[in-house]
Structure 1
Amino acid sequence: MKIILSLLFACITFTCHAQNNFIKKEKWHWNNASKQDTSAGYVQVIKVDNILYISGAVSKEVTPEGIRQVYQALEKSLKSFGATFQNVVKENLYTTDIETMKKYNSVRKVFYNGDFPAATWVQISRLYMSESKLEVELTAHLPK
């Protein structure tokens, strides 16, 4: 009897732990009904708890207009869950031309309105889409 009770307790404990392995994910993907891109296999924004993980927005050029377009796309991604750039806590920027990005950094700064996140900027040889020259991804926190 003691062995049976021990096995039953172990099964209940395992079941409880197994059920807790799933997390609730809310998704947004450019107003796409499936809320994800199945050909490339990604989602533009995924919300887990109060955190937004925002896939990179890209531009084919590192110019003031190209940078502005990237940040406008990111702004739309943030707004999909009611957030703004003031909710952004981390920015990762990838470019094939870091010096030009540094030159036009003022365009990016406008979106943050003086409330800058932690940031990492990296020069790379190419991006997923070979014609792209700039990609920026964000992590944002929503109020609890």
Structure 2
Amino acid sequence: MLKWLVASLFCITLGVGECQSAPNAQVIERKHYAPFEQEIGFSMVSRVGDQLYLSGIVGAGGDVAAQLQSCYQTIGEILADYGTDTRAIIRETIYTLDMEALKKAQDLRKTFFTHGSYPSATWVQVERLYSEELLIEVEVQVLLAEKGEN
């Protein structure tokens, strides 16, 4: 609030009717983990304040279970890069070509979430993902701890 007040007073002092930046504007940090992100035109990770958004997480392997395991391994590595773990995931969306195979892999999925801290989740069967070899794609939203919290 104080920052907004100072910015407003600065604008008034300069005779500017409207400031260029909104008082609640936050910096968006974007991070790339794979070369294909730049080629396609997206960021696998975006951070705004204490919110972390992971999208386009795909995995390797010949079936849904293998790709799911690979996706979760990548997600775990990204979370570790931000000093957190799966307990910080608050929302998950899984896109799959085969819902029945995903249901069969749910025990594997459960092992990924430590301490039984499952997020809100939506599973969606789709006709196709970006590449034909992909069977699954995962996106998650993470709430990062304040500095000093764990």
Give the structure-1-normalised TM-score.
Answer: 0.80
Report the CA distance shift for 1:61/1:122 in structure 2 as closer, same or farther (over 3 A). farther
Structure 2 Cα separation of the partners of residues 133 and 46 of structure 1:
24
Equivalent position of 1:57 in the other structure: 57
- Aligned to 1:19, what secondary structure does the other structure show? coil
1:31 Cα deviation (Å)?
A: 7.3
Match of 1:12 among 13, 16, 28: 16
Say yes or no: does 1:41 pair with 2:41.
yes
- Aligned to 1:131, what secondary structure does the other structure show? coil
- Aligned to 1:126, what secondary structure does the other structure show? coil
8 Å contact kept, 2:64–2:136: no
Equivalent position of 2:80 in the other structure: 79
Report the CA distance shift for 1:31/1:120 in structure 2 as closer, same or farther (over 3 A). closer
Match of 1:141 among 122, 143, 147: 143
**Number of aligned residue pairs:** 132
Equivalent position of 1:5 in the other structure: none
- Aligned to 2:109, what secondary structure does the other structure show? helix
8 Å contact kept, 2:64–2:135: no
* Identity over aligned pairs, percent: 30
Give the structure-2-normalised TM-score.
Answer: 0.77
- Aligned to 2:18, what secondary structure does the other structure show? helix
Match of 2:33 among 10, 30, 37: 30
- Aligned to 1:38, what secondary structure does the other structure show? helix
Segment drifting more, 61-70 vs 102-111: 61-70
1:142 Cα deviation (Å)?
A: 0.6
Structure 1 Cα separation of the partners of residues 58 and 104 of structure 2:
18
Q: Which has the larger radius of gyration?
A: 1
Once superposed, what is the RMSD of the aligned Cα atoms?
2.3
Structure 1: tracts of 5 or more residues without a match = 1-7
Letter in 2 for 1:12: V
1:26 Cα deviation (Å)?
A: 1.9
Letter in 1 for 2:46: I
Structure 2: tracts of 5 or more residues without a match = 1-10
- Aligned to 1:14, what secondary structure does the other structure show? coil
1:20 Cα deviation (Å)?
A: 2.1
Match of 2:132 among 127, 130, 133: 130
8 Å contact kept, 2:52–2:144: yes
